[in-house]
A = this chain, B = another copy of it.
Amino acid sequence: MLDDRKTAILSAVVNQYIATALPVGSSHIATASGIGVSSATIRHEMAVLEQEGFLVQPHTSAGRIPTDKGYRFFVDHLATPGRLDDVTSRHVGEFFDAAHGRLEEMLHRTSDLLTTLTHSAAVVLGPSAQPIPVRTVQIVRLSSVAATVVVVFATGVVHSEVIEIAETLSDSALLAAAAHLAHSLEGSTLASLADVGPSGVDAIAGVDDVVRSAVAALQVQSVDDHVYMGGASTMADAFDAVEVVRQVLHTLEQQFVVVSLVRDIVDRGMSVAIGVEHGVEPLSACSVVVAPVVVDGQHVGSVGVLGPTRMNYPQALATVDMVSDRLGKRLGDS
């Protein structure tokens, strides 16, 4: 598609632009990169690259910057599998060696880690509870009309939902309901919620009502999983135009937008979405790099970073991959 020289020039433009955020001109490339031709030749090649949509000029008399298509080519064909420097990988290693305590906290701190390493906004989608086996289910009465359903998963994650109960409900009915729920769920996953049928002990009034409420409450929870975001303020540094900053920040605050964005990219099996590729218009100046978190072959979550389209893709890819990998391992052995 692109001959070697064009490829080399495109690569040089992308690298240079990522490093400086300034349009890069033909003479820079002629001198700085190892391509042994004059700037005039490079100019000619760049004109072709522009015609084919890999580069644009912000205005006449300016150098070129990559288009989304240019970045895409770079990521697909040119980005070397980017080894992380030793400092970074040691940093990640130490982080996960030291990680302990509640999963929620670990994920939260993982998003901070990603922000620190990539200087971009980071997203961590917590392990969906769906495929995790349930360890215990309990129902705890809070008042005459309210109770909490507490589910402990095999990973140690605890989830609770408050449900309303009938004021007339007896404690023994609550116990019976809890026992029935426990029997139906413990050892299997929340997916089997649908299978929780009548208890068969509705001799005690209201047992099945409680079970129904609990199942309903747990079903909604499985939708809104844990989401951890950090580093949104790095966007303020990434763009000069204050308008873009506002737009991006406002969009990032709508968590569900970001979540479906990341989920969508992961589901499509992609690891990078560049500019308009992800389809979220207010974020068209941003790229997203994601990786699934896998435990025992199961896709249990995702991590990602979000930055300007001129982000450092090799580094971001390597970092995200490494973090998702280590996070998966860490989740696996606990």
Contact = CB atoms under 8 A, between A and B. Distances in A.
Interface of A: 100-103, 135-136, 138, 140, 142-143, 146, 148, 150, 152, 154-156, 158, 160-162, 164, 217, 230-233, 236-237, 240, 242, 245-246, 249-250, 252-253, 334
Say how many copies of this protein the assembly contains: 2
Given A148-B156, A158-B160, A232 B253 contact: yes
19 contacts: A101-B161, A102-B161, A135-B142, A136-B138, A143-B334, A146-B156, A146-B334, A150-B152, A152-B160, A156-B160, A156-B162, A158-B158, A158-B160, A232-B233, A232-B253, A233-B249, A236-B242, A236-B250, A249-B249
A253 B236 contact: no
A249 B233 CA distance: 5
A142 B160 contact: no
A232 B138 CA distance: 38
Contacts of A160: 102, 152, 156, 158
Contacts of A253: 230-233
Given A148-B156, A242-B245, 7 more contacts: A100-B162, A136-B140, A146-B156, A146-B334, A231-B253, A233-B252, A236-B236
Given A102-B160, A242-B242, A252-B233, A140 B148 contact: no
Given A140-B135, A236-B245, A237-B246, A162 B230 contact: no
A334 B242 CA distance: 45
A137 to B, nearest CB: 11
